[in-house]
Amino acid sequence: MDIRIGDVLEMKKNHPCGSRRFEVLRIGMDFRLRCEGCGHEMMLPRLKAEKNVRRIERRE
């Protein structure tokens, strides 16, 4: 998958705040994501994140 810093990922599952959209802050073996609903930042393993992505939006 071609995921870049600054992309917005729409995931299959909701964050507890109800939002499905996450901004990519860091990539590598883990992704650092920020929830667009509440601003919570989290680290997810690459395999788990890529498996749960529904759509990728590029920010130009």
Which candidate, 21, 30, 20, 23, places its Cα nearest to that of 7?
A: 23
pLDDT of residue 1: 80
Q: What are the φ/ψ torsions at residue 27 (nearest 5 degrees)?
A: -130, 160
pLDDT of residue 11: 95
CA angle 26, 32, 34 (to 5 degrees): 110
The answer, as to whether pTM is greater than 0.85, is: yes
Give percent of the chain with pLDDT exceeding 70: 98
pLDDT of residue 59: 77
Measured CA to CA, the distance from residue 56 to residue 35 in angstroms comes to: 14
Q: Where does the pLDDT of residue 10 fall: very low under 50, low under 70, confident under 90, or very high at 90 and above?
A: very high
